[in-house]
Amino acid sequence: MSDDKVESRSERSRLRERTRGALRGAGSATHRYLRRTRERASHALDATGERLKQTAAAKRMGAALETRRVLRKSEAAHSRGNPAMAYRLLQSELRAKPDDDRLAIAFWHTCGVLERGSEASGPLLEVIRRRASAGDLDTAAELWCELVDVECGARADAGTLVRIASVLRESAPDRAVQALRATLEPDTPGLTPGLATRVVEQARELDPHTALLAAQWVLDSADLADAKRDRLERCVAELEREMAGAARRSEPTPSDAGAAESGTIDVSQNAAPTLDDEVAELVVEQTVEAFTPSTRFCGVKATEVESQSLASDAVLLQMQGGRRARLDYAKVQALGVAEVAGPADAPVVLIDLVLNWGAGDGEQLRVVRLRADRFADSDPTPSQSLRSMLAELLSRTDAVPLPDREAAVGAPFRYYDDVGSYEREVLLAG
């Protein structure tokens, strides 16, 4: 091989080595550059994040300081006897911070002083819901008791009520029963079969009647597995037996009635009966019937609504305060209708959707109450459209017409001098 060829090959080999060396150097430089760029970007992001955290913390701190300043000013206004100033301060601050529990509670108490509790009921309900969801049930229960004492018509959701009832069972069983009963009100939002089942469990010992209503609600409203349906049906049967037994035990026996007339009562456990069981039961029924007062229920708990409309399977209600509710036709057990003097300058037609007409004697009757002067074209005079609506409502609900079918559809309406007379004579409550 000639020397020229050998030298050319050596030159090419050196060129390749220099090229590889240059590429390796360029790769290393590029890698170092990318690594430094990545490190600088990471440091910049960390610094930006820290500045943002400091800014958010500063904002939270500033908001907290402003809230404390407003609360101090409102307390000072109260101490000077100027709750109206406290109302304006808290109302303005609460609009800017609707999720601040301290502001909502202070606003509630201020509105209570001014007898404007309904204005603060919405924010307070949110506080109650948040506290109950967070597990602070004692505070939620205390605030709920304050809310229902004012009777401003505000309703907590069913889930919150069940949680509140669980903490009130030992300390205030009457309040727990009130909360459990409220879950079954037609305008209480959020009731589900699962929550209603919890109502059954909690009310079983405290209030069997509420437990029975809740169990029936679940059976009527849900597609249940066979095992769960069987358990609930057994529960309903047991509750009905317990309530029937309690009612029989509370009834006076004929011997007790005779002894009461003579001023003595025979309490001997071994006294031989003078009548067989069937005759004794007949005498008891006749005695109770003879002395039963004209009213069945201890009173009426009326939830007033602004207006209504009839859907395919429910009455759609417009509640006070703008809220809406849905009442299934199957839940309306009776329909009480009468023309009553007193609620307005002119007599108006009251329409009561009775929810527990089948309740036991001495219970409180629960009704959803409408006034014809608030709808039906705002005409207080009974109109044909109103009569047609009542006839349609009776047809769809299959409810018991009170005082009778003709009067319930205005053919003609019965007239009563006041609401109390109507409730005693038509609803049998007083």
305 and 193, same domain (yes or no): no
Q: Which of 23-27, 41-45, 394-398 has the highest mean pLDDT?
A: 394-398
Would residue 73 count as lying in a domain? no
Would residue 33 count as lying in a domain? no
Band the pLDDT of 37: cuts 50, 70, 90.
confident
316 and 210, same domain (yes or no): no
Report whether pLDDT(276) > 50. no
pLDDT of residue 249: 65
pLDDT of residue 187: 82
Q: What is the average pLDDT across 158-184?
A: 90
DSSP letters spanning 161-174:
HHHHHHHHHHH-HH
Q: Mean pLDDT in the chain? A: 78
Backbone angles phi, psi at 362, to 5 degrees: 90, -10
> pLDDT digits over 307-321, tens only?
888 888 888 888 776
> pLDDT digits over 221-272, tens only?
767 787 888 888 888 888 888 877 776 666 555 554 454 444 443 433 344 3
Q: What is the average pLDDT across 370-381?
A: 65
Domain boundary among 188, 209, 238: 238
| Structural domain harbouring 371 | 299-425
Report whether pLDDT(132) > 60. yes
CATH number at residue 203: 1.25.40.10
pLDDT of residue 262: 44
Band the pLDDT of 352: cuts 50, 70, 90.
very high
pLDDT of residue 180: 92
Band the pLDDT of 165: cuts 50, 70, 90.
very high
* Angle, CA of 293, 295 and 296, to the nearest 5°: 105
Would residue 75 count as lying in a domain? no
196 and 127, same domain (yes or no): yes
Pick the residue with more confidence: 221 or 339?
339
- How far is it, in rounded angstroms, from Cα 47 to Cα 53? 10
Would residue 264 count as lying in a domain? no
Q: What is the average pLDDT across 129-135?
A: 89
Cβ atoms of residues 402 and 334 within 8 Å: yes
Pick the residue with more confidence: 274 or 362?
362
Domain count, the chain: 2
Cβ atoms of residues 408 and 281 within 8 Å: no
Q: Which of 84-93, 340-349, 380-389 has the highest mean pLDDT?
A: 84-93
233 and 127, same domain (yes or no): yes
Q: CA distances (Å), 55 to each of 51, 61, 69, 276, 359, in order? A: 6, 10, 21, 87, 61
- How far is it, in rounded angstroms, from Cα 387 to Cα 375? 13
Domain boundary among 187, 211, 238: 238
Would residue 4 count as lying in a domain? no
- How far is it, in rounded angstroms, from Cα 296 to Cα 288? 13
pLDDT of residue 3: 61
pLDDT of residue 228: 82
pLDDT of residue 153: 66
Band the pLDDT of 160: cuts 50, 70, 90.
very high
Pick the residue with more confidence: 34 or 290?
34
pLDDT of residue 335: 93
Would residue 402 count as lying in a domain? yes
Would residue 342 count as lying in a domain? yes
Would residue 123 count as lying in a domain? yes
Cβ atoms of residues 104 and 123 within 8 Å: yes
pLDDT of residue 2: 61
CATH number at residue 402: 2.30.29
Report whether pLDDT(130) > 60. yes
Q: CA distances (Å), 239 to each of 185, 205, 221, 224, in order? A: 20, 10, 19, 20
234 and 306, same domain (yes or no): no
Secondary structure element (H or E) that encloses residue 290, with its range? helix 277-291
Q: What is the average pLDDT across 153-167?
A: 87
334 and 221, same domain (yes or no): no
305 and 420, same domain (yes or no): yes
Q: Per mean pLDDT, which range of 27-36, 134-143, 264-273, 372-381 is the poorest? A: 264-273
Domain boundary among 221, 238, 255: 238
330 and 418, same domain (yes or no): yes
416 three-state secondary structure: strand
Q: What is the average pLDDT across 79-86?
A: 88
